[in-house]
Structure 1
């Protein structure tokens, strides 16, 4: 009898336990919350410096950037850990958890030593454009040699979890969504004004993209750009129409307002959308259309949506980091984030999705502005390497020892060096000793040193993380702080200084523990952290660490 009661008690407890464990969700005022996110949204804001979060904070609403900060986890000392800090390498590193030394995207373009030609990071001649006639649509992620976070999710779910990538730039859509994406879409401007893809992903655009490409719909993004608020309230920026801005062709001064319809013909047709905040609005609209049409976040398998807001980069290059145009862009982007988050709440369900937001690189202040306020800065002279060719000829008696200077790297003619029976390392060292004396060159290193020594920290480590033995050049060099290779107006990026490396990292939503840290984190930590949250394998080349405090144990 006692034994029967014991068995009954065990069965009762087992049923009770199974009943409680069968529903691995918790409820809240906003409805049922999944134990695993139904959708992960990876947001990259192209060229967003970390200080934009604080500089424009008093003008942001409470439901965009500040919602992510106040209700999520903020990494306030987050940096890129490699050089060069460009869009292609940045996006690839965020989603692979690896540096260019591993994933192979060493620039937006680079000199290909085997082809003896400059190649673009996503170009793949095995595929053709879909949805637009541009010759630049021959695209795939093939040059990225490792898996991404989204790839690992696809593998984990037996390809049942979907992945969609969205960006105005092809590289901003292709690399984040990975090798196994269901779709990656980018925008072709010029005379077409269409969202497109390549045959790597599909043979024809889905109907929802065709509908989005309706000329009347795209034309809605070509309108007058004026400031969101009274221009006198933009005290966090310099004056409008400064001497440090490029502006749009067809308009004498870079100042508000901008009539985009009138300026289209002088600025690449529909390409003008890219260089305004309305490009970001279009990205949000397209991303929401993708969620709806692809039924993202509606089943038991985690889906991925990668969204790269590219217009911030075009505007930063054009107007610089201290411009009213840039501030207005971020105030409007704040509203786009609010709109996206509200849509996710309604469509996927509050608590059913996870968002992370970061950037692919920062940007330098306009050097001419810095010079005017007595901060060391400058520009690399166009003919600064002319004497290198002359002195190499004096030393070795030939004029063809350099094949290319690209991405702050010198590519030597190794075949010629071998034929002349010269020592490659000796030639590399000669180049280093020659260029280190040039104006604005800060440091220079040989490829041999990158291959044979291990650097633990500093710019040397960042160069080593960006150095790919198969693809990179024979000599690597860096510029001084505040120095860029660019025109006298507007700005660029690419260095290992804080203005290029220090970017936001915000986690929010399902599985994220609210808080913040000032401990240094790296771009390679993002994918391992999300992988740990999902319980999936890390991307194949990931070298970063899990940011443990950001996720619930």
Structure 2
């Protein structure tokens, strides 16, 4: 089994006393791909941190995102800034940046340099484009930046297995963004946050995390006898995990006596797609509290942790799988370990927290209850759609149009669009023809051109239509020529596993729980959103809520 590590990194001879003053540490917890049903179906089994949040926190069971492209980058940026993607700028994990004239990863920065234990990345390593990362594409301040503006000296540490999660949570706040290196270097960062990794990071990286090699992930038995709606271990529709298996046990690769780069990479990738990654995030979070003295004085600091295993495992196995159930049970224990460490070092009652998610997910179509419409569209259907769009363009305008698809976006070739314009054909017409042809595909239910969306203003907050969600994700210089919505319950280009990325309710529904002395425990009905976290937390700290946020303050009591 994957054993937890102790709390040695938070032991201190200056334990913080109980007191009634303002919180001095804010903890943001993002659980990637966590649907709210994970809390309700597994509640009888929780006994750690998730149990504490549910019993003592202020929860909003109707919370849901208010935009279209429900992916990791936009979701974490929304949680961190209090803004919609159209405002904070991260419209998708990757997009065509028309201002730069090239495809961009949402946290890429070609001027940044990766930071490892050994120092900045070498020229050879930089050629591989690893970790050239910063928050430069984020257009709005993060929570940590607001704290630093109000309280000079405030520090932020954001940690996740995913770089785009850690970076968007940190923003440009003073401190560190740290993420897991799938090539075997442990946790790394970039020159956007410093010139060398802190000693406490290097100490952890040089520790015994490689002891995971050869270990076996088997399910906990703490939920035996409870009706958790967990599916059978082996089910139709599941994909294989890095162990090569769809069923327990899942065994980590061995390192051998003289491991090479490929061996370290295999082990690191196995960890990335297992509960070990979540355990390591808690290890690092506790090390950050001690190493950076977070929450040690009356200047409030921020610790932002994103847990990825629910997503990396869930993509393969589905949200009701035996594996994801076990991921959640282990996360409950790890959060319990985290909270105990915070109570000991920062002080019970001296820290506040919010738990949410970056997006939801569709159940495996093969196992959606009630026999509703659901299914998968494969590569043949996708090729047919692309062929139909090209044929329509050629029939209408001649030539040979090149297309690119990414997610639920269709991109037209810039050179061909320029040639069409030179021939007197408007770009608006070309996009409209492409949209109409795309809509002939059976798996597309709606589509909008860049030109249509450009003429529309921001949607009203009460507007919950798919068009409103698309507008909330739309930035002309970062959005596709044509955006389209798949049929509800259908997965596009997926033979197995599941995914997210649409404005259907199953992709937008998320948990939202506030915890700490300012928040009266209870379950609050009514609309709420992860973008409400920043204004609500700022208000709870007695700080001014800045203008320009899309989120609103949720009453703490």
Q: TM-score, normalization: structure 1?
A: 0.88
Residue 136 of structure 2 corresponds to residue 150 of structure 1: no
Give the corresponding residue for 1:101: 86
Partner residue of 2:195? 203
Q: Deviations over 1:204-255 (max 9, x none)?
A: 111111110115334347621001117865752111122322123564x411
Unmatched 5+ stretches in structure 1: 1-29
Measured after TM superposition, the shift of residue 267 of structure 1 is 8.0
CA distance in 2, matches of 1:369, 1:345: 41
Tell me the distance in 2 between the aligned counterparts of 1:266 and 1:209. Answer: 18
Residues 249-269 of structure 1 show CA distances to partners (whole Å, capped at 9, x for unaligned) of: 564x41111221359959833
Deviation at 1:540, TM superposition (A): 6.3
Equivalenced residues, count: 516
Q: 1:537 to 1:403 in 2, by over 3 A?
A: farther
| Equivalent of residue 489 in structure 1, options 496, 499, 524 | 496
Structure 2 residues not aligned, in runs of 5+: 1-15, 256-261
Q: Relative to structure 1, is the Cα distance of residues 249 and 66 closer, same or farther in structure 2, using a 3 angstrom cutoff?
A: closer
Correspondence 1:392-431 to 2 at 5 A: 392-400=393-401, 402-412=402-412, 413=414, 414-431=417-434
Which residue of 22, 27, 36 corresponds with 1:50? 36
Does 492-501 or 114-123 show the bigger shift? 114-123
Consecutive aligned runs of 4 or more in structure 1 exceeding 6 Å deviation: none
Q: 1:256 aligns with which of 248, 256, 264?
A: 248
Question: Could you say if the C-alpha distance between residues 349 and 231 of structure 1 is closer, same or farther in structure 2, counting changes exceeding 3 Å?
Answer: closer
- Asked which structure has the greater CA Rg, the reply is 1
Alignment-derived partner of residue 10 in structure 1: none
Q: Take 2:226 and 2:254, find their aligned partners in 1: how far apart are those partners?
A: 26
Deviation digits for residues 174-201 of structure 1 (CA, Å, limit 9, x no counterpart): 11111123111111123x2411100111
Task: Give the corresponding residue for 1:531.
Answer: 538
Cα distance change on mapping 1:537 and 1:140 into 2, 3 Å: farther
Instruction: Calculate the aligned-residue CA RMSD, in Å.
Output: 2.3
TM-score (norm: length of structure 2): 0.88
Residue 238 (structure 2) pairs with residue 245 (structure 1): yes
2:24 to 38, 43, 49: 38
2-structure distance, mates of 1:273, 1:265: 13
Alignment partner of 1:138 is 2:132: yes
**TM-superposition CA deviations, 1:413-441 (whole Å, max 9, x none):** 34233222212322222222211111210
- One of 301, 324, 338 as aligned partner of 2:299: 301
- Map of 2:456 onto structure 1: 453
C-alpha spacing 1:127/1:164, structure 2 compared with 1 (3 Å)? same
CA change 1:540–1:181 in 2 (3 A) is farther
1:139-195 deviation line (CA, Å, top 9, x unaligned): 10000011111111111112x1111111111111111111123111111123x2411
The 5 Å alignment of 1:498-517 reads 498-517=505-524
Equivalent of residue 359 in structure 1, options 357, 379, 399: 357
Shift of 1:108: 0.9
More deviation in 312-321 or 38-47? 312-321
Assess if the C-alpha contact under 8 Å between 2:431 and 2:481 holds in 1.
Answer: yes
**More divergent stretch after superposition (351-360 vs 513-522):** 513-522
Asked if the contact 2:45/2:223 (under 8 Å) is kept, the reply is: no
Contact in 1 for aligned 2:49/2:335 (Cα 8 Å): yes
